[in-house]
Structure formats: C-alpha cells, structure tokens
Amino acid sequence: MRADTDDARPSAGTAPGPAAPGPGAGGYTVRVVAERLGIPTATLRSWNRRYGIGPGQERPGKHRLYTESDIATLEHMLDLIRSGASPAGAAATVTGRGARPELGHWEPLLTAAFALDSRAVSAQLTAHLEAYGVMDTWNLLCRPAFAAIVDRQLSGEGCIDVEHLLSWSIAAALHAGIAPAVSGRTPVAVLACTSGETHALALEALRAALVERGANAWMLGADVPTPAIADAIARIEGHPYVVLWSHQETTALTSAIRVCLEAGARVLVGGPGWDEVILPEGTLRVHSLEGAVEAIIGPVAGDGDSEPAEDI
C-alpha cells in the first residue's frame, strides 16, 4: 500500500479539528475546511489542483470557497483513505472519474512516442503521475520506455527523435504536475548537471520527487558552470545538499565536487559518468531516485511496487 507523498494521510484515530464557523458568502475558506477535517491546508489545495475536488476556479481578489457538498465529498474521500485507498484512488471513486491507469503499463506510452503523438504521451504521463506519484512513474513507466528505445537504437533503428520527444514530454509533465518549488521554504538541495553535461531529465525527476514530499529544491538544469553552483550554495544558510549529475565520464568533474565541498555543501553524485571516477572523500554516490531522496530527506516508504533502479 502506498501513501501519496504530497498528501498527508490522516490516521484512523485522527480527531476532527475545531468546529467550523458558519459559511461566509457562499461557502467555507480552505483554512476553515482544513480545521474541520483535521488535515493540512496544503493537502486540500493539492487535492483541489490534482483531482478537482473543491472550488472550481480562482476568483480574483477573493477566497476560494468550499460548499457543504465539497466537504461531504472530502469526508468520503478521507474515509476511503483511512480504509487503505491511495488519495488518487479515493478521488477517482468519489468523483466518478473511473479507475486509475494500470501501474507501470509502459507499452502504450512507447507506442505513442514512436507515433510522435505528444498529446497522447502527455496524457498517459499525467494520468500515471496523478495516480501513482513521481517515483513509480519514473521507475515503472519512464525508465522501461527509455530502455526499450535504447534497445531499438542498438539494433540499428533510428529513433533519437523518439527519445527526445519522450524526454521533453516527461519534463513538461513533471513541470505541470509538480510545482517548481515550495513557496517560502528554504531549499534543502541544489540540483545541477556539471559543466558540459546536457542530460538533465534525471534531475527533473529528483526535483519533482523532493517537492512532492514537501521539500524544496533548486533546479539549475543542464551544463552549469562550477562557479554558478558555488554561488547557489552561498545563497542558502547552513549546509545544503548538492546533487551533481554526469551522464558521461568526460563531464564527471571532480573539481566541481571539491568546490562544493569547500563551500560547505554535502555532495551527492549521480549518473553513469561517475562510475570509474575516484571520488573525493565525503562524496556520496547515489544509484537510484529512491537513494537520492533518502539521502536528502530520509527514508522513502510506501511508493507502490517499484524497485530501486540503477543510475536514477
């Protein structure tokens, strides 16, 4: 059984919050509803954004107001979650929007990618992200599809265009589904490809997995000069984590690691480029998305049936 990581799951014994005051002009504010149900306001906002439960649209200059019907739907959803359903599954039940996509059913994604049907690719990625979260989508949907593309490339088929379309679609889905950062929260990590490295998709997945779990991360992207990474570290109080990604040995720069260590950061490196590199003391090599998340924010629990996958 998994717990959606951006949705705090209340336990069966959670007591309801304080009694809500009567509705204002047409309904209840998110704060009042959160107190009444005994769950965080962030969870309500997430469920509203991801599953469409609650106010249907922004009203400029005014609060988004929940109706009694919205609250009844949320109470039903909480009952299902306390009985063992995931938030996505519970939302599908209470909204009548049908069953979730099959976990890790990647072949249709590959078919859509080879048809260069970016709309179908996007729809499948979005549905899987909403149902299962970042970790399972990355490990059970995206990585197998990429592995199949690589196999076809090695057999002589020209499909670099397919690889690029799928990469772009995954990044776009992660951006759309997972907010860029947690507002007002100090970042725990800086994510950067080393200078000359252009493969940033694994770091996109890591950023989304961290934010999904309530942690903030700064994503600097591809081909980041070492001084720029040092500048980012200097903007954060304390000793942030830095994750340096290198896909090839030529961009596995130990000089970048040393600069980060000297700046007081805790350095993690990921990607096959580091495989044959002797790492400076104090550097942690991470081999999976789970490993990177655990190193930064603690153990990962309850994420479906995915196994740790090598090289993120």
Outline which parts of the chain fall under CATH 1.10.1660.10.
1-100
Tell me how crowded residue 272 is: count the other CB atoms within 10 A of its CB. 16
* DSSP 8-state code for residue 99: P
Determine the residue type at 67. T
Per-residue pLDDT tens over the stretch 107-157: 999 999 999 999 999 989 998 998 889 999 999 999 999 999 999 999 999
Determine the residue type at 137. T
Domain 189-297: CATH class, spelled out:
alpha beta
- Residues whose CB falls within 8 Å of the CB of residue 279, separated by 6 or more in sequence, listed in order: 254, 257, 269, 285
CATH of 1-100, one of 1.10.1660.10, 1.10.10.10, 3.30.300.30, 3.20.10.10: 1.10.1660.10
Per-residue pLDDT tens over the stretch 153-163: 999 999 999 99
- Phi, psi values for residue 237, rounded to 5°: -70, 145
Determine the residue type at 138. W
Outline which parts of the chain fall under CATH 3.40.50.280.
189-297
Per-residue pLDDT tens over the stretch 225-280: 999 999 999 999 889 999 999 999 999 999 999 999 999 999 999 999 999 999 99
- Residues whose CB falls within 8 Å of the CB of residue 274, separated by 6 or more in sequence, listed in order: 246, 252, 285
The larger pLDDT score, comparing residue 104 to residue 220, is at 220
- Helix, strand, or coil (residue 191): strand
